């Protein structure tokens, strides 16, 4: 059975988003095009920025999904990522707190897309 291997995030400014995600995740894109920039996050798995459908997209557009980063299961690991991302200028949506699944927080990219950090399952 095929598994998902491409995850798209809609952005209004591909260059700005490429810099934001490259700095945040400390990764380089596979290729850069004017409207599509993929990052390989695992062998054969791409996380990509897509600016080809940005008409009507604004930071005020409600977001109902999240990009996730799971880190080792410790409060310190989550808090360390939080401190690093705040220092990089990420917009905090939810401060670090303890949820039923462990320590977590949420930031937003410049377009309002949500990024959650949580412990590994």
pLDDT by residue (tens digit) across 17-31? 999 999 999 999 999
Structural domain 65-121, CATH architecture: 2-Layer Sandwich (3.30)
The pLDDT value recorded for residue 65 is: 85
Residue 121: what pLDDT? 80
Whether 109 shows a pLDDT value over 90: the answer reads yes
Nearest CA to 68 among 30, 86, 41?
A: 41
Residue found by looking up tokens 């412990």 in the block: 119
| Tens-place pLDDT, residues 35-60 | 999 999 999 999 999 998 766 666 67
Q: Where are the domains of the chain?
A: 1-53, 65-121
Is the CATH number 2.60.120.620 carried by domain 1-53? no
The model's confidence at residue 64, banded by pLDDT at 50, 70 and 90, is: confident
Q: Please tell me if the domain spanning 1-53 has the same topology as the one spanning 65-121.
A: yes
Q: What's the pLDDT at 57?
A: 67
Do β-strands 102-108 and 6-10 pair in parallel, antiparallel, or remain unpaired? unpaired
Mean pLDDT of 86-115: 95
Could you give the CA distance from residue 113 to residue 86 in angstroms, rounded to a whole number?
Answer: 16
Q: What is the mean pLDDT of the chain?
A: 92
Q: Label residue 69 left, alpha or beta by phi (over 0 means left) and psi (-120 to 50 means alpha).
A: beta
pLDDT tens digits, residue range 68-83?
999 988 899 999 999 9
């Amino acid at each position: 059975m095929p598994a998902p291997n491409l995850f798209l995030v809609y952005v209004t400014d591909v260059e700005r988003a490429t810099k934001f995600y490259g700095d945040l995740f400390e990764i380089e894109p596979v290729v850069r095009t004017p409207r599509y920039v993929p990052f390989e996050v695992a062998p054969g798995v791409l996380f990509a920025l897509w600016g080809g459908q940005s008409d009507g997209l604004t930071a005020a557009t409600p977001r109902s999904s999240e990009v996730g980063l799971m880190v080792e299961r410790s409060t310190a690991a989550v808090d360390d990522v939080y401190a690093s991302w705040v220092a990089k200028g990420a917009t905090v949506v939810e401060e670090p707190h303890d949820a039923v699944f462990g320590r977590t927080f949420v930031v937003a990219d410049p377009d309002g897309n949500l990024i959650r950090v949580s412990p590994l399952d």
